[in-house]
Homo-oligomer: A and B are copies of this chain.
Amino acid sequence: MLNASICTIGDEILIGQIVDTNSATIAKELNSVGVKVNKIISVQDDENEIISSIQKCYESSDIIIVTGGLGPTKDDITKKALAKLCKCEQYKYDINQTRLIEDICNKRNIALTKLNRDQALVPACCEVITNKLGTAPGMIFRINENNKNVILFSLPGVPYEMEHMLPAVIETVKNEFKIDSIYHRTLLTFGIPESTLASMIENWEDNLPDEIKLAYLPNPHSGVKLRLSIYGGDLNNNAQLVAKEVAKLKQILGNALYGEGDESLESVLSKYLTYNNKTISLAESCTSGRIASILTSIPGSSVYFKGGIIAYDNSIKMNILNVKEETLNNLGAVSAKCVEEMAENVRKLMKSDFSIATSGIAGPSGGSPDKPVGTVWIAISGPNFLESQMKIFNGNRQNNIERFSAEALNFLRLRLGLQLK
């Protein structure tokens, strides 16, 4: 099995100013192609530290992925450290990255300073992975140490730049090494806690063929994912073997299974709305635009998403969404009646086929014994239905907003009968 180490560089990680999310992103991608990550290490912007930490990874790694420290400023010294490490301290300008830097500066009306230009300056011995989203190119170094070949990738620390260059890394790894085939299928569930799910499928799990490995990937916002993997062997056979087990799982889990792989609650809804030429609108109070953000994270969502009213203040609920004053006075904004009026009225106002409305208490304050922090009312409305439900969660403010939003999308998904077929 191929082994990898990940080394993230930056003082800001070691003083706890930022959480290193890059390691998890990279580890996930490497794992998906069958590369095992056996060490993740974070070190400061210090030449000796960088060099010695990477050297310590040689023995146990075929692949080393380094992120961070590629900015144009003086505290960014990864490039220099790597050049020294690889004994390759001659530099060259990479033509492609130079052009990209010029483009970026032009587009954004930034002066093309020497500092910017020099971002395209790389050790002569490395291969470049161009960075279209930023100025720092990725670099590939091939190292031979004690007759062992190690391939080292250096990527920027800015997560979206790193992520956009990751496919090139994975491609290189796949081409460079003979990697055992790996077959994955990931099924997406929503609404069943991990421990309950585990009990529900315990019997099925106990009878899984030995070659199928099962992993639970819980995520508080998007539900538990179940990943079935087979390492090595014939891809077609593996696909058949896994398909058989997936069929059984569908029987057990029913509509809790909403999709596969890269799908999401919003992509499932997107597919349905696009295919059926239907539209949707939103009336959000406590989720305050979060559901709209999620829906429109899907490219092309303008086809079915008409818009929304964020009715944070009760005056907006009354004056724009026509929620009755007596509803707010008698039952409060966090009530079935209020979200039902919000959902029904936004649907009419925006002339959409469907709508979702939310009203709740995200916290930290605003709770009461009756309606504690974490309470949300959700309504969904369509041509021939208007339904509402209440849920209570116990996260912090941000967490509650995420949960409320995911529950709202799932509520509509279930009502529309969307599940893994």
Interface residues of A (CB under 8 A from B): 11-21, 23-31, 36-45, 49, 53, 56, 71-76, 103-104, 107-111, 113, 115-116, 119, 132-133, 135, 158, 160, 164, 184, 186, 193-196, 198-199, 205, 214-218, 220, 227, 282, 284, 288-293, 295-297, 299-302, 305-313, 315-316, 320, 349-351, 363-366, 372, 374, 392-399, 401
Contacts and interface: CB of A to CB of B under 8 A. Distances in A.
Of residues A44, A104, A216, which shows the largest number of chain B Cβ atoms within 10 Å of its Cβ? A216
- Nearest 10 Cβ contacts at the A-B interface: A289-B289, A16-B28, A289-B292, A16-B27, A307-B316, A40-B42, A308-B310, A288-B296, A115-B195, A16-B24
B71 A108 contact: no
Contacts of A17: 24, 28, 186, 215, 217, 227
**Residue of A186, A313, A364 most packed against chain B (CB within 10 A):** A313
Nearest to A352: B313
A393 B108 contact: yes
A44 B38 contact: yes
Given A299-B365, A320-B349, A398-B297, A111 B196 contact: yes
A73 B216 contact: yes
A16 B184 CA distance: 13
A205 B113 contact: no
Contacts of A297: 397-398
Given A37-B14, A160-B396, A21 B19 contact: yes
A298 to B, nearest CB: 9
Contact of A288 (B119, B199, B293, B350): B293
Contact of A198 (B15, B38, B72, B366): B72
A30 to B, nearest CB: 8
A309 B312 contact: no
30 contacts: A12-B227, A13-B24, A15-B27, A15-B37, A17-B227, A19-B20, A20-B23, A39-B41, A39-B43, A39-B53, A40-B41, A45-B215, A72-B195, A74-B198, A108-B393, A111-B196, A113-B196, A133-B396, A160-B398, A284-B289, A289-B292, A289-B296, A293-B293, A296-B401, A300-B365, A306-B313, A309-B310, A309-B320, A310-B310, A320-B320
Contacts of A215: 11-12, 15, 17, 45, 75
Nearest to A350: B316
Contacts of A313: 302, 305-307, 350
A216 B218 CA distance: 35
B320 A312 contact: no
Contact of A133 (B194, B350, B394): B394
Contacts of A15: 27-28, 31, 37, 184, 215
